[in-house]
């Protein structure tokens, strides 16, 4: 469905995008906790399961958030073909890497920014496809999650976490539930079991 910025469809989409990003943030926080516990030596199955699940949810939420953002950019809620999405994700990550390089080179990057060399890497052309495949693996009961022709979660982390994290941090500047806590998510507020109870 086509829409215009500011109309009811757009307002609802913005609300959904905010909600999606809040869930993405919460999943990332869980991942940081459980991965940190694992890094500190706890190799129990429960810790690894929680870490795996949190990172999977983080990726899935981040992926869906960006798909919604692309739809908003196009002012069209219809499904975007997967080949186009693959390209859009890779191009977005490459743009963010380029923007970081420029900020460092021009001297307006914050003091805590990584060294320029961190951003010199080119985003692999397969990034968008592998991000989509990983999201599909972890969002569906698909045998390829356990092996097959798609990338596994640890390989994805090792190959692409830098780019995924950059997508996340970039979006958090405008969409974070921490900095925009006053934003009401109407469809969430309506899910209240205290309303109408005696």
pLDDT at position 112:
85
pLDDT at position 121:
92
pLDDT at position 59:
98
Domain boundaries defined on the chain: 8-186
pTM: 0.91
Q: What is the rounded distance in angstroms from the CA atom of residue 178 to the CA atom of residue 113?
A: 21
Long-range contacts, stretch 74-83, CB < 8 angstroms, 24+ apart: 75/2, 75/3, 75/4, 75/5, 75/10, 76/1, 76/2, 76/3, 77/1, 77/3, 77/9, 77/13, 78/1, 82/132
Give the 3-state DSSP-derived string for 50-102, with helices as H, strands as E and coil as C: HHHHHHHHHHHHHHHHHHHHHHHHHCECCCCCHHHHHHHHHHHHHHHHHHHHH
pLDDT at position 194:
84
pLDDT < 70: residue spans in the chain: 180, 197-198
pLDDT at position 69:
97
pLDDT at position 158:
96
Q: What is the rounded distance in angstroms from the CA atom of residue 183 to the CA atom of residue 177?
A: 8
pLDDT at position 110:
85
């Amino acid at each position: 469905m086509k829409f215009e910025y500011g109309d009811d469809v757009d307002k609802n989409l913005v609300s959904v995008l905010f909600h999606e990003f809040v869930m993405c943030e919460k999943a990332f926080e869980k991942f940081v906790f459980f991965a940190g516990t694992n890094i500190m030596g706890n190799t129990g199955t429960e810790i690894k399961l929680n870490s795996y699940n949190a990172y999977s949810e983080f990726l899935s939420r981040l992926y869906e958030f960006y798909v919604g953002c692309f739809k908003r950019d196009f002012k069209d809620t219809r499904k975007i073909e997967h080949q186009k999405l693959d390209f859009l994700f890779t191009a977005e990550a490459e743009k963010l890497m380029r923007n970081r390089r420029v900020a460092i080179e021009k001297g307006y990057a914050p003091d805590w920014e990584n060294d320029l060399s961190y951003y010199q890497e080119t985003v692999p052309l397969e990034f968008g496809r592998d991000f989509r495949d990983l999201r599909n693996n972890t969002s569906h009961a698909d045998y390829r999650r356990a092996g097959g022709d798609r990338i596994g979660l640890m390989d994805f982390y090792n190959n692409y976490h830098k780019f995924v994290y950059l997508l996340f941090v970039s979006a958090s500047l405008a969409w974070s539930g921490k900095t925009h806590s006053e934003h009401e998510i109407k469809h969430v507020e309506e899910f209240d079991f205290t309303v109408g109870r005696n």
